[in-house]
Structure 1
Amino acid sequence: MRLAVIGRGLWGAAAARHLAMAGADVTLIGPTEPADKATHNGVFGSHYDEGRITRKNALDPYWVGVSTAAIDRYHEIERQSGVRFYTPTGAAMVGGAAFMARVEVGRALHDVPCDMLDHAALSARFPFFTFPADFTGYHETTRAGHVSPRNLVAAQAKAAQGFGATLLEATVDGLEERAQDVVVVTDQGRRSFDRVLVAAGYNTDRVLGRAPSLEVYARTVAFFEVDEAQGAALSAMPTLVYDTPEDPYLLPPIRYPDGKLYLKLGGDPTDEPLTTDADVRAWFQAGGNPQVRDRLDAMLRRLMPALDIKSLSMGSCVTSWTKDRRPELARLSDRIAVCTGGNGAGAKCSDEIGRLGAALIHDKTGDDR
């Protein structure tokens, strides 16, 4: 049986690895990262970056479960591929009583190991942060930190190829389902498969040729360059999610391809919808919203007033949301299934969501962990 996974992002690459490990004849289809986002006129991916938080605790217990399962396999993926993508810096979630009560539901359900810190303990452990006096926190000291989404996709794809998967560098324009197969129409020609899993992120609706189902929002991230001495001084800094209306997330100093160290902060004050392909393309090409960047700058200076920032820059990405804020994992027909809708939480748990997506078109992957 010939299987195809459409989408070379975090979920698609994970699905391809699980299918290949199960012995399937699988082809992973998607374009490479564009050399210049500002002039690229094709599809984009939000994994073109070096930092995503990975942790088990979350405000929704569902994400705790799938993230825990995925994190359990990080070392397996690194071993299979020889590509390092995971840095175990630890992770903290910090907030007021109502915020932490929500975190506690999933923490207790999945027995997440972490240190519970009152405000005094937070200040002592993380002197570089300044939190409101009523904030407490959970600090995951093990099996948490950050991943390079770019390297994680590369690792999944390389491991999949090691198990026999085929990689097709192409952009998918649509599907033609027939009685005996599914024709995948790409900019490199037409290919026939017995079953297809569509894991194309924000582009999923277009690939499926269906009415808009996903809500796609623009996101701006800010990058704060620090020097080597500042990076060393923040060696104990965990990733951080904390309780403010912008729902911000912060990553410690990470070395980017330009050789520099950057802290990364995300957290948009409003949801700005992107309703057409042209909207998404223009957003990625623009590289972010300067007003949001400046707002994030002010947020970080309040949170880390002693931080010595060398430069400030920004980047653009998108998030895709389902109506129920859970991944869309479904068989749409006997031959086509879908795996989409990261809901702003899809990086850390991507290997588990990919496994669940793979099971939709190849039953042997369903119970394998």
Structure 2
Amino acid sequence: MVIAVIGAGMIGAAAARHLAQAGHGVVLIGPPEPQDKATHPGVFASHYDEGRITRALDPWPFWSRASQASIARYHQIEADSGLRFFHQTGTVMAGAENSPYIMSLRAVQQQGNLPCEVLQGPDLAARFPFFRFDPGTLALHETQGAGHINPRVLVRAQMRIAEQAGARILPDTVLGIEETSTGLRIRTDQGDVPANQALVAAGGFANMILPEPLPLTVYARTVVLLELDAAEAARLAAMPSLIWLEPDGNDPYLLPPILYPDGRVYLKMGGDTVDVILRDTQDIKDWFRSGGNPAVGRMLADQVSARMPGLRVASSHVQPCITTFTPRNVPALERVGPRLSVAVGGCGRGAKCSDELGRLGAELALGRSLPEWAQQDALPA
């Protein structure tokens, strides 16, 4: 049996690894990162970056469970691939002490017995002197298995292991899927690929491929990269990743100093609250080519300045990305036909737990049922 995994991003590459290492025939189909995004006419992916926050703590049990499973495999993936992508700098999740999201976070932490340091008031200020926290803030500091991952390198690691285990990798763009008398025909820009089963893990581009569209909402998002000189990067060397849980459910985030491919060190700030919905494939492509929203970048930079008084920034620029949401605020992990499954919709939380989401997608492609915990929603009560 040949299983086609469509989408060579974080979830798709993980699914291909799990299937190939289990001895199944796998073809992973998806184009590489474009050299010039501004003129690229094809599809894009959301892992074109150097930093994504990772942690086991989350207000929702589904995301915490999926994250724990993925984090537990990071070191083995690094060892098997020879590529390092995980940086254990720690993660702080903070917010107003009695806010619903902090209370949910504490409940998940206590139910899962997740090790972390709980800080408030003077102890919190002393522990992280480079951050300014409002009075009444409660923070959970996770040190083990938390910090940030390099999504580009993680995808390369997953693909390297999958290929070593026998997977075939095609750098093609999938145009559609057709059922035949014997299986599936995967139509690509380079020709047809036969398969017995297919798993679509194409993120915001999934509905471009699927015979029947999923109820996905794709948002245009902007992040800002704040360049630091060598002295400022050294001053912030002990900085953890930070997520601030707002009472309204927004969760702006800030990553510690990270070296980027241009040779410069940046802080990355995200948490764009300007909800611009991308209605179709052309909208998504246009957004990636646009370079992002400078006004949102300025708003995010102002938030960093308020959170980190005295921060010295040498320069800044914005980058576009997308988040793909489902109505249940968890990925669409389901069979949508006798030969077709989907693993789509990171809901702004998918990077850190992409290995487990890929594993669950692989289980679906093999015709297996998901565990009960993986069928939970992540919606406010």
Q: What TM-score results when the alignment is normalised by the length of structure 1?
A: 0.97
CA distance in 2, matches of 1:190, 1:42: 18
Secondary structure of residue in 2 paired with 1:208:
coil
| Residue among 205, 208, 214 paired with 1:206 | 208
In structure 2, the partner of 1:48 is 48
CA distance in 1, matches of 2:78, 2:204: 27
The CA deviation at 1:366 is 7.4
Secondary structure of residue in 1 paired with 2:321:
strand
In structure 2, the partner of 1:250 is 254
CA distance in 1, matches of 2:214, 2:338: 22
The CA deviation at 1:363 is 5.5
Q: 1:312 and 2:316 equivalent?
A: yes
The CA deviation at 1:247 is 2.0
In structure 1, the partner of 2:243 is 241
| Residue among 265, 270, 294 paired with 1:290 | 294
Amino acid at match of 1:234: L
Amino acid at match of 1:28: L
In structure 2, the partner of 1:104 is 106
CA distance in 1, matches of 2:209, 2:157: 25
In structure 2, the partner of 1:23 is 23
Deviations 1:338-368 (A, max 9, x none): 110100000000000000000111258979x
Q: Is the 8 A contact 1:175 1:185 kept in 2?
A: yes
Q: Is the 8 A contact 2:46 2:321 kept in 1?
A: yes
Amino acid at match of 1:55: R
Amino acid at match of 1:278: Q
- Could you say if the C-alpha distance between residues 91 and 73 of structure 1 is closer, same or farther in structure 2, counting changes exceeding 3 Å? same
Amino acid at match of 1:31: P
Amino acid at match of 1:185: R
CA distance in 2, matches of 1:166, 1:46: 22
In structure 2, the partner of 1:266 is 270
Deviates more, 1:355-364 or 1:152-161: 355-364
In structure 2, the partner of 1:168 is 170
- Could you say if the C-alpha distance between residues 93 and 250 of structure 1 is closer, same or farther in structure 2, counting changes exceeding 3 Å? same
CA distance in 1, matches of 2:370, 2:331: 17
In structure 2, the partner of 1:357 is 361
In structure 1, the partner of 2:73 is 73
Q: Is the 8 A contact 1:174 1:208 kept in 2?
A: yes
The CA deviation at 1:179 is 3.3
In structure 2, the partner of 1:8 is 8
Unaligned segments of structure 2, at least 5 residues: 372-381
Amino acid at match of 1:191: V
CA distance in 1, matches of 2:344, 2:164: 25
TM alignment of 1:53-68, pairs within 5 A: 53-68=53-68
Amino acid at match of 2:86: Y
Amino acid at match of 1:350: S
The runs of at least 4 aligned residues of structure 1 exceeding 3 Å deviation read 363-367
CA distance in 2, matches of 1:119, 1:60: 26
The CA deviation at 1:292 is 0.4
Secondary structure of residue in 2 paired with 1:57:
coil
- Could you say if the C-alpha distance between residues 161 and 364 of structure 1 is closer, same or farther in structure 2, counting changes exceeding 3 Å? farther
Q: 1:223 and 2:236 equivalent?
A: no
CA distance in 2, matches of 1:21, 1:251: 33
Q: Is the 8 A contact 1:52 1:146 kept in 2?
A: yes
CA distance in 2, matches of 1:332, 1:180: 18
Q: 1:303 and 2:294 equivalent?
A: no
Q: Is the 8 A contact 1:19 1:365 kept in 2?
A: no
In structure 2, the partner of 1:137 is 139
Backbone CA RMSD of aligned residues = 1.4
In structure 2, the partner of 1:192 is 194
Aligned residues between the structures? 367
Amino acid at match of 1:250: L
The CA deviation at 1:212 is 5.2
Q: Is the 8 A contact 1:22 1:365 kept in 2?
A: no
In structure 1, the partner of 2:36 is 36
Unaligned segments of structure 1, at least 5 residues: none
Deviates more, 1:102-111 or 1:280-289: 102-111
Q: 1:125 and 2:139 equivalent?
A: no
The CA deviation at 1:270 is 2.5
Q: 1:326 and 2:350 equivalent?
A: no
CA distance in 1, matches of 2:370, 2:16: 14
In structure 1, the partner of 2:350 is 346
CA distance in 1, matches of 2:181, 2:107: 47
CA distance in 2, matches of 1:305, 1:366: 47
Q: What TM-score results when the alignment is normalised by the length of structure 2?
A: 0.94
Secondary structure of residue in 1 paired with 2:42:
coil
Q: Is the 8 A contact 2:274 2:296 kept in 1?
A: no
- Could you say if the C-alpha distance between residues 200 and 172 of structure 1 is closer, same or farther in structure 2, counting changes exceeding 3 Å? same
Q: Is the 8 A contact 2:243 2:252 kept in 1?
A: yes
| Residue among 110, 113, 116 paired with 2:115 | 113
Q: Is the 8 A contact 1:358 1:365 kept in 2?
A: no
The CA deviation at 1:61 is 1.5
CA distance in 1, matches of 2:66, 2:156: 21
The CA deviation at 1:269 is 2.1
CA distance in 1, matches of 2:230, 2:345: 37
Q: Is the 8 A contact 1:326 1:341 kept in 2?
A: yes
The CA deviation at 1:298 is 0.7
CA distance in 2, matches of 1:341, 1:110: 25
Deviates more, 1:103-112 or 1:32-41: 103-112
